[in-house]
Chain A
Amino acid sequence: MSDANKEALEPITGIESPVYLDYNFTAGAATARYLSKVKEGKLVGQRCPSCRNVYIPPRGACAACGVATTEEVELSNKATVQSFTIVHIPIPGNPIKPPYVIANLIPDGANISFLHLLSECKNEDVRIGMRVEAQWKDPSEWTFAMENIKYYTPIDEPDVPAEEIGRLKDA
């Protein structure tokens, strides 16, 4: 190749190759049952027949034992803060104004946490072991989503010691 030709060739550093794939997502049989109960305003976990741990949201299996979970357990609206974070940075598309609290919450009777919002409290008062309760939206707004719970709010109960969080059996 002559020098003149070399100069004429623009180096190609990238191409546009958009990918668009369409899927018909399904939640899974166990999760579908769970979401159906959420639409009725209930939190229903599943108990492992082997280790007796209760999972929420259930995925149909105990990840520790590798056995199917079929026994359904209705859980309390009360929960304990396992861990939390105070969000100061706005997230695009999220209507909630920072700073706000997101917490890993373990509902009474369950052994695993899920994420939800904590509100109607001073952010600096939030602590591990704090007792909270679900504030459900009006039933007319209930759908197949955890957003049926607006947020959790603190309740006047003694804190749970850190080592006991999530270890409540058959509450």
Chain B
Amino acid sequence: MRDIAIVSFVQSDCVRDAGALNEVELIMPVIRKVLDNVGIQSAQDVDFTCSGSCDYLQGAAFAFVLGVDALGAVPPIKESHVEMDAAWALYEAVLKIRMGQADSALLYGFGKSSPGELPIVLSQQLDPYYLSPLWLDTVSSAALQARAMLDNGDITEADMAEVVARSRKNAKSNPHAQLKGDVSVDELLAEPTYLSPLRMHDCCPISDGASAMVIATVEKAKEWGKPYAVLKGIDHRIESHHFGARDLTKSVSTEIAAKAAGVANGPVEVAELYAPFSHQEIILKKALGLGDDTVINPSGGVLAGNQMMASGLSRVGEVANRIIKGEIKRGVAHATSGHALQQNLVAVLEGE
């Protein structure tokens, strides 16, 4: 199987409201930078382009088609789209390259969540017969999950606050983070609950923005003459969207994906986990079999800024950039989709 190199990754700042910017205006700056890093001009210079976005976020039909305006798609390019986080666009591109249909790919994800009421918009991810008509929003389903964990004795509220305090602290070194700073566990626990047992800070913020990545075969990356991280394994699994049909306190899909991606085949120095709610980081750490020697979310993770449909790709990009810079040799990235960690993708990255 052909090894795949992650050559370039760029993300925009996480902002609560990108104002008047449309999808093209959000995407274009990150596309420009990610291509410049490789030394190529446009999407014409890669074999395949794939994006991740969701039109429900900004409430504009076919917004993902308008996003193609940012690419330079004349003459026509080979292009695809996932109505999901761009981590799954990465997955599609990986398959394409492994099958020999492409040697290089441009990936991007973007989300403009500010025009709508995000947790309510995301209620439409649920099944249309039983749950969606109840308008069960993503914060409520995460609160159910956290309550189940607290009742189980799996975690305490202080454990949740510790995740938040560490995220805010780590985010101080992340120029793209929306929420950052020094705050103690005691200070966090003194805050009122928002949707019990969640406090506001247990929930990721709502952010607008985009991220982009260029991947290629290792041979192509060498031809470009750029440093890269090698994608050693990638897998994704999904569970039922019926909350009653699964144990919310665990993530079986992450466990299976971690095994298939080969997480345990070596030491994990850094893990970037897509945990939109504090307690979910604890579920994921366990499901991935990570020990206390793994640095989790050195970027601050999505509690510091959550660009819907881009954050998953950005987890992979964060790990890749640390490998490219020579800070670490091996790391794990995780992306999620759906309510209460319904679907999970795990990627293992290494330096050469």
Contacts and interface: CB of A to CB of B under 8 A. Distances in A.
Contacts of A27: 20, 22
Given A21-B59, A22-B116, A68 B20 contact: no
Contacts of B128: 17
B16 to A, nearest CB: 13
Interface string A51-82: 00000000111111111100000000000000
A28 B121 CA distance: 21
A15 B132 CA distance: 12
A63 B129 contact: no
B117 interface: yes
Interface in B54-84: 56, 58-60, 66, 68-74
Nearest to B116: A23
A31 interface: yes
A25 B28 CA distance: 20
Nearest to A26: B20
Contacts of B120: 21
A50 to B, nearest CB: 9
A50 B3 CA distance: 36
A109 B69 CA distance: 21
B125 interface: no
Interface residues of A, number: 25
Contacts of B124: 19, 21
Contacts of B70: 61, 66
A5 interface: no
B73 A63 contact: yes
B326 interface: no
Given A61-B24, A65-B42, A67-B72, A26 B116 contact: no
Given A21-B121, A29-B25, A31-B22, A59 B133 contact: no
Contacts of B132: 17
Interface residues of B, number: 33
Contacts of A63: 68-69, 73-74
Nearest to A32: B20
Q: Which one of A29, A32, A61 has the highest number of Cβ atoms from chain B below 10 Å of its Cβ?
A: A61
B267 interface: no
B206 interface: no
Contact of B28 (A21, A32, A66): A66
Interface in A63-113: 63-68
Given A22-B117, A23-B59, A17 B24 contact: no
A24 B117 CA distance: 9
B22 A30 contact: yes
A61 B21 contact: no
Nearest to A68: B28
B319 interface: no
A6 B162 CA distance: 56
A66 B108 CA distance: 14
A150 B68 CA distance: 32
B42 A24 contact: no
A64 B129 contact: no
A13 B73 CA distance: 44
A113 to B, nearest CB: 17
Contact of B42 (A30, A32, A66): A66
B129 A26 contact: no
A31 B24 CA distance: 11
Interface in B90-110: none
A28 B28 contact: no
A68 B31 CA distance: 11
B19 interface: yes
B66 A66 contact: no
Nearest to B66: A59
A32 B25 CA distance: 12
Nearest to A63: B69
B59 A60 contact: no
B304 interface: no
Interface of B: 19-22, 24-25, 28, 31, 42-43, 56, 58-60, 66, 68-74, 114-117, 120-121, 124, 128-129, 132-133
Give 8 closest A-B pairs by Cβ, nearest first. A66-B72, A28-B22, A23-B59, A64-B74, A63-B69, A61-B24, A61-B69, A23-B115
25 contacts: A17-B132, A17-B133, A21-B117, A21-B124, A23-B58, A23-B59, A25-B60, A25-B115, A26-B21, A26-B22, A27-B20, A29-B19, A29-B20, A29-B25, A31-B22, A60-B22, A60-B24, A60-B28, A62-B72, A63-B73, A63-B74, A65-B42, A66-B28, A66-B31, A67-B28
